[in-house]
Structure 1
Amino acid sequence: MGEPNLPARQMGRQLKRMRERLGMTQDEAGAPLRMSTSKMSRIEMGYLPPYHDFRALLDRYGVIVSDWDEYISAYDRAKEKGWWHHYGVGNRGFLPIEAEASKVQEFQFGYIPGLLQTEAYMREVFVAARVPMKPKVLENQVAVRLRRQLRLTEEPLLTYHAIIDESTLRRPILYGKARQEQLRNIIERAVLPNVTVQVVAEEVGAYPGQFGSVTVAGFEDPEEPDIAYVEHIIGSVHIEKKDEVSAARLALKDFADRALDEEDSVALIERLCAGG
C-alpha cells in the first residue's frame, strides 16, 4: 500500500485537531463508531478510512452537513493516485516524497542524481540494475524520471541542492559525445535559480560520504516533518525520526562544507567536459 501521501497526512492531522478540540481521546471518539483506538491512530497518521467512515467522523466531530463539501473535496484529493501510477510505479521509494516536497538536498556517491541525468545516462543505469528490467518497464522508468525532472523548470518549482562526489562524474558510464552531453546537462541545470550543484573534489580524500548516498526532503507545510531517504543494494529506507533526520541534515551540511563552492564546482565539471 505504501505510505500515505501529503494530502492524506494533512487530512489526518486535521481530524486529530478536530478530535482534540472536543477534548476526546481516540477511544472516546472511535468507540461509538466501532472504530478501535489503533484504527483511529492510523487514520490520524493519514491512512484514511472508507468514505462512509469518514463521513461518520465528520458527524461525530459536529461538522454540520452544509459544511461537508470542503472536507469531502479534501478527502477525494487525498485518495487520488499520483501521476506515476499511470506508468506502473507504486507509492514506494522516493518518488511520492519528491513529488510533494518543496525542497530536496541530496548527496550522491555512486551515480549522477536522477534529476540531473540525461536519457542516455539513465538508460545505462537501468540496464545495469541488479534485477534485469523488461523492455516496457525500462521505458516506463525512463519516462517517469524524465517527468520528475520537470520539477526543476515547471511550477511548483523544486528547490534542489545536489552534492556530487567527483568520482561519480569521472565514472565511465557514458563515453564521447554522450558523456559530454551529460556533463553539460549538469552545468545547464546548475544555472537555474532554484538549483545548486556542488562537487566534492578528489583532493578531499577520505570522508564520511564514501559510506553512501543520502537525501533529505522538506515540505511547504510547516507541520510536515522533513524525511530522509537512503538507497542501498537491496532496497531503500525512509527515515522520519527527528534525531535521525537531523543527523542526515548535519551529514549533508558537512559534505557541502567539504565541497567546492558553486562556481568552482561548475568550473570543475567544465574541465571534465573538455576532457580534463
Structure 2
Amino acid sequence: MLGRRLRRLRESAGLTLRGLAEQVDYPHTYISRVERGEQLPSAALATALDTHFGTDGLFAELLEMAQDASIPDWARVILGNEEKATRIQIFASSLIPGLLQTEEYSHALFRASLPGASEEKLSERVETRMRRKRVLNKDNPPFYWAIMDEAALKRPIGGSKCMRDQIAYMLEVSASAHITIQVLPFARGEHPMLGGSLSLLTLPKGTSIGYVESFASGEAVDSQPRIVELTQRFDIARSMALPEQESVDLIHAYLREHADEDDS
C-alpha cells in the first residue's frame, strides 16, 4: 500500500524516480525498491516524503502499520498495549530488555537471531524496536520496572564497545523517576525465571496482561489465574534481585569492565 501510494503521488507530480530522488536527497534505487514493495522506507525517508508531497504524516503512518504487521501474532497483543499501559514490569533472563536497548545492541541481536536476513530487513526490525521506546518518553509515561539477570550485563553482545555504550545508555535512562532497574546477581543461584523472559502490563482500568517469551516463540496471557502465577514469579525474582542502588553500582562495575576490554 505504501509503495503504491508513493508511485501514484510521484507520477501525478510528473516526476521520474531520479527526479524524486534528487528532490528528497535519497538514492533512486532505494526509492524504487520502496515503490515495488521490496523494502520499507526508513522513518527519515517517510518523513521526507510526507514533507515533499504535503501528505500530513501519511507515509509515517503507513510505515508504522507495515512495521507492526511484521511482528509475530503472539507478540502483537503485548506490543499493541504498551502505549496504553500505566505500568510495565519486565524480567529478562539473558538480554537487556527491548525498551532499554540501543540501536547498535538491537542490531547485533537481530543479526544473530535472523541468520541470512538482509541488512534492509535487520534495519526494519531495529527501527520498529526503537520506535517502541517512545512510550517511555511521552508526557505521562508508564512506571517501568525492569529486572535482568546478571548474564545480560556480562555477555558482550556486539562486542565490548557496543556493550559499553549500551550500559552507559541504560544508566542514563535509569535516572528517570518513572524507571527502576534491578539486577539479579549470579550469587543468588537458581530462580523461577531462568531460561525465559516475562512482561506484565497493567492497563488503565487495572487489568493486567502478560507475555512469556522463550527462544523464537512467545505466549500472550490474559487468564487471571495465570497472571497471578506470573506475578508471583516476578515478585520472587524482584525479592532476590539487588536493591536499586546496589544494582546501579553493579551496572557501573560492568561498564568499567567492558571499557577495560575495549581498551585492551
- AA in 1 matched with 2:217: G
Higher CA-based Rg: 1
- AA in 1 matched with 2:180: T
Which ranges in structure 1 are unaligned for 5 or more consecutive residues? 1-80
- Name the structure 1 match of 2:236: 254
Identical-residue share of aligned pairs (%): 27
Equivalent of 2:65 in 76, 85, 97 = 85
Cα displacement string for residues 67-111 of structure 1 (whole angstroms, at most 9, x for unaligned residues)? xxxxxxxxxxxxxx8973143535631321223222110100121
Q: State the TM-score, normalized to the length of structure 2.
A: 0.68
- Name the structure 2 match of 1:197: 181
Distance in 2 separating the partners of 1:215 and 1:82: 27
Distance in 2 separating the partners of 1:204 and 1:213: 18
Higher mean C-alpha displacement, 209-218 vs 266-275: 209-218
Q: State the TM-score, normalized to the length of structure 1.
A: 0.65
Matched, 1:127 2:111: yes
Segments of 4+ moved more than 6 angstroms: none
> Compared with structure 1, are the counterparts of its residues 131 and 102 closer, same or farther at alpha carbon in structure 2 (3 Å cutoff)?
farther
Report the RMSD for the aligned CA atoms in angstroms. Answer: 2.0
Contact 2:94 2:150 in 1 (8 A): no
- Name the structure 2 match of 1:147: 131
- Name the structure 1 match of 2:256: 274
Which ranges in structure 2 are unaligned for 5 or more consecutive residues? 1-60, 259-264
Matched, 1:177 2:157: no
For these two proteins, the number of residue pairs brought into alignment is 194
Matched, 1:95 2:75: no
Cα displacement string for residues 96-139 of structure 1 (whole angstroms, at most 9, x for unaligned residues)? 12232221101001211011111110001111115643332221
Matches within 5 A, 1:14-163: 84-87=64-67, 89-90=69-70, 92=73, 93=75, 94-130=78-114, 132-163=116-147
Shift of 1:247: 0.7
- AA in 1 matched with 2:222: E
Contact 1:84 1:90 in 2 (8 A): no
Shift of 1:143: 1.2
- AA in 2 matched with 1:85: M
Cα displacement string for residues 30-66 of structure 1 (whole angstroms, at most 9, x for unaligned residues)? xxxxxxxxxxxxxxxxxxxxxxxxxxxxxxxxxxxxx
- AA in 2 matched with 1:228: G
Higher mean C-alpha displacement, 128-137 vs 99-108: 128-137
- Name the structure 1 match of 2:29: none
Distance in 2 separating the partners of 1:228 and 1:195: 19
- AA in 2 matched with 1:236: G
Cα displacement string for residues 192-246 of structure 1 (whole angstroms, at most 9, x for unaligned residues)? 1110000001110112221321111111124xx2111011224211011101001
Contact 1:183 1:273 in 2 (8 A): yes
Contact 1:106 1:214 in 2 (8 A): yes
